[in-house]
């Protein structure tokens, strides 16, 4: 006994060497090492390609476009940007640092745009592949209990089960269902066009973004003011304003020329709309390439000229008085038509400047105001224009002499006089009202200016946008996709035929429609019964009589059949489709 006890004692740990079970520290479980860089990339991609992220990015694009619509942009009106910065010396520089005056070319706007493009692509393209596989798969197998579907019917017939299923195949195919017959039941499905339309809309939106980006990269837009009798050649130095795309190359400019022969504007002459423009027509000649044949075109609003891969639009018009300036020696220092910019749009009162840097001994400059149809106002002390057409054109001239500042090399606007009161001094008694043909001789023999007559000019916009046609096609496809997605719904019908009592065949029909039930199911049941069959009342016929539990059970039955829809169509009976 002693030896046995000693052996037992030796097999046990010594007292105090092992803690009670409750006090023992748990064994250390190895901590997870994390999902790793690849896992984070996969997580980020899944977040980026969700519809929620796409909607947020779309909202940010719309929000980012707001300052581009509210604030002046350098690409469209650089002079207004300069004026805004002069008026807002504190806020303006901060807005400029944030690219608020060049929104659509800002890095942050480009980042949102690219992320939206990637998000849509990553969301829509996999969906399109899955949808294509679903369309090729067999319709889902019939649920076990068709009577629990939202629409169901049951009747008996003397026709054999095989003949019933053959008739069901014929009826359903006639209604353009995809049909599969197996295991004593016919499964039919149609309505994929609705999902196709939804995918088409998103793919078209993706194509629209791509087309807009294509136009912004390789396109250009330029504005030019063309006076009657003048010719415009499509080159950079001929444009008054030019906005190129990011990847634009000036070698891509088509070598066409446009000449403005005549411009006519028509106005209302009576009633409350007197003076309102009713039509503009610019008679132009153009050549598609040097040495080519002259072609004629009537350029009107919404009737552009298509030439050299570009479109030329008529934007506006105005007046260009013709002046002859002679210096103190009697030599002609300037003779040309000078475009005047409108001061008020209703009656086209306009202003402009005439610069004669070749006059000697002093350079001459003039500021003029044109009234197309001059008359005295109600007080009789001021001149106003009563009509926009040139019925009685009158120009008021203010004269200056000195140094215009063109020799300094600093660029100047052709519509403003620089250095007044410093290098350019007003001529005493140098104001005069001139009608066509009249000459004003400046005091002190400084020179003279003659108002020769009046011409009109047209403002043209030359646009080259390689993404215009793709954008139009994408917009049309998007509209068609939206219409299809709202008009077409997914529909499924199952027909089961089995032997009943007395040698008759029991026919069960069930229908499931995405949304509200349709009358098409009743037409299918009527066609299957045939004219000799009397409809039997069914408690489950009306979807409105089912409670919420029946609706959930029907959905569960349909879910049970769904896995078969992903089966390879080649592994089972052939699928017949007319969709």
Residue 243 has pLDDT above 60, yes or no: yes
- In degrees, to the nearest 5, what angle opens at C-alpha 271 toward C-alphas 268 and 273? 50
CA distance to 4, 5, 8, 13, 398, per residue, from 1 (Å): 5, 6, 11, 20, 138
Nearest alpha-carbon partner for 446 in 549, 563, 364? 364
Query: Which residues make beta-bridge pairs with 152?
Result: 510
Domains and CATH numbers, the chain: 31-136 (no CATH), 140-191+489-579 (3.30.310.80), 217-316+462-473 (no CATH), 319-456 (no CATH)
Residue 367 has pLDDT above 90, yes or no: yes
**In the predicted model, what is the mean pLDDT of residues 16-24?**
53
Higher-confidence position of 550 and 306: 306
Residue carrying the six token digits 């052996």: 7
**In the predicted model, what is the mean pLDDT of residues 388-416?**
87
- In degrees, to the nearest 5, what angle opens at C-alpha 477 toward C-alphas 476 and 480? 90
**Is the distance from CB of 212 to CB of 204 less than 8 angstroms?**
no
pLDDT tens across 473-528, in order? 999 999 999 999 888 888 999 999 998 888 889 999 999 988 778 888 999 999 99
| Percentage of residues in the chain having pLDDT higher than 90 | 38
Whole-prediction pTM value? 0.64
Residue 542, CB half-sphere, CA atoms under 13 Å: how many? 4
pLDDT tens across 417-448, in order? 888 888 899 999 999 999 999 999 999 899 99
Average pLDDT of the chain to the nearest whole number: 83
34-43, 171-180, 209-218: segment of lowest average pLDDT? 34-43
pLDDT grade, residue 32 (50/70/90)? low
The predicted pLDDT at position 282 comes to: 94
pLDDT grade, residue 36 (50/70/90)? confident
The predicted pLDDT at position 22 comes to: 53
**In the predicted model, what is the mean pLDDT of residues 350-379?**
92
**In the predicted model, what is the mean pLDDT of residues 212-227?**
88
């Amino acid at each position: 006994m002693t030896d046995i006890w000693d052996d037992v004692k030796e097999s046990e740990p010594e007292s105090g060497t092992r803690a009670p079970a409750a006090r023992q520290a748990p064994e250390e479980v190895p901590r997870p090492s994390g999902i790793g860089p690849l896992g984070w990339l996969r997580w980020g991609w899944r977040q980026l390609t969700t519809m929620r992220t796409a909607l947020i990015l779309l909202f940010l694009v719309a929000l980012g476009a707001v300052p581009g619509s509210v604030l002046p942009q350098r690409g469209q009106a650089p002079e207004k940007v300069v004026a805004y910065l002069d008026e807002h010396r504190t806020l303006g520089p901060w807005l400029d640092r944030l690219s608020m005056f060049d929104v659509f070319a800002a890095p942050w706007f480009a980042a949102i745009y690219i992320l939206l493009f990637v998000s849509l692509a990553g969301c829509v393209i996999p969906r399109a592949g899955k949808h294509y596989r679903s369309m090729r798969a067999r319709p889902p197998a019939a649920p076990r209990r068709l009577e629990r579907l939202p629409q169901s019917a049951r009747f008996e017939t003397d026709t054999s089960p095989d003949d019933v299923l053959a008739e069901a195949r014929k009826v359903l195919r006639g209604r353009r269902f995809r049909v599969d017959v197996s295991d004593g039941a016919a499964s039919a499905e149609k309505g994929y066009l609705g999902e196709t339309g939804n995918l088409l809309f998103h793919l078209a939106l993706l194509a629209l973004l791509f087309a807009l980006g294509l136009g912004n990269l390789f396109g250009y837009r330029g504005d030019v003011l063309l006076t009657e009798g003048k010719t415009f050649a499509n080159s950079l130095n001929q444009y008054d304003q030019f906005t190129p795309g990011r990847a634009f190359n000036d070698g891509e400019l088509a070598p066409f020329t446009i000449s403005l022969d005549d411009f006519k504007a028509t106005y209302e002459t009576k009633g409350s709309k007197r003076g309102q423009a009713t039509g503009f027509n610019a008679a132009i000649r153009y050549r598609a390439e040097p040495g080519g044949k002259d072609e004629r075109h009537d350029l009107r609003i919404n009737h552009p000229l298509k030439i050299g891969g570009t479109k030329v639009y008529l934007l506006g018009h105005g007046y260009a008085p013709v002046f002859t300036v002679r210096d103190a020696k009697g030599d002609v220092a300037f003779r040309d038509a000078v475009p005047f910019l409108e001061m008020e749009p209703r009656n086209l009162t306009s202003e402009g400047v005439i610069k004669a840097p070749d006059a000697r001994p002093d350079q001459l400059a003039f500021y003029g105001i044109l009234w197309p149809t001059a008359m005295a106002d109600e007080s009789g002390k001021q001149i106003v224009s009563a009509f926009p057409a040139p019925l009685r054109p009158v120009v008021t001239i203010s004269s200056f002499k000195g140094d215009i500042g063109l020799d300094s090399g600093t660029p100047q606007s052709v519509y403003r006089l620089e250095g007044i009161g410093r290098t350019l001094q007003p001529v005493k008694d140098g104001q005069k009202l001139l009608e066509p043909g009249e000459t004003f001789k400046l005091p002190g023999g400084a020179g003279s200016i003659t108002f020769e007559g009046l011409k009109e000019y047209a403002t043209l916009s030359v646009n080259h946008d390689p993404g215009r046609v793709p954008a139009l096609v994408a917009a049309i496809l998007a509209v068609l996709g939206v219409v299809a997605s709202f008009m077409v719904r997914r529909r499924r019908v199952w027909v089961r035929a089995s032997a009943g009592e007395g040698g008759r065949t029991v026919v069960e029909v069930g229908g499931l429609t995405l949304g509200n039930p349709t009358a098409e199911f009743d037409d299918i049941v009527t066609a299957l019964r045939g004219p000799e069959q009397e409809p039997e009342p069914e408690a489950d016929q009306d979807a409105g009589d089912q409670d919420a539990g029946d609706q959930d059970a029907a959905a569960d039955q349909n879910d049970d059949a769904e896995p078969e829809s992903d089966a390879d169509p080649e592994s089972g009976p052939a699928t017949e489709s007319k969709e």
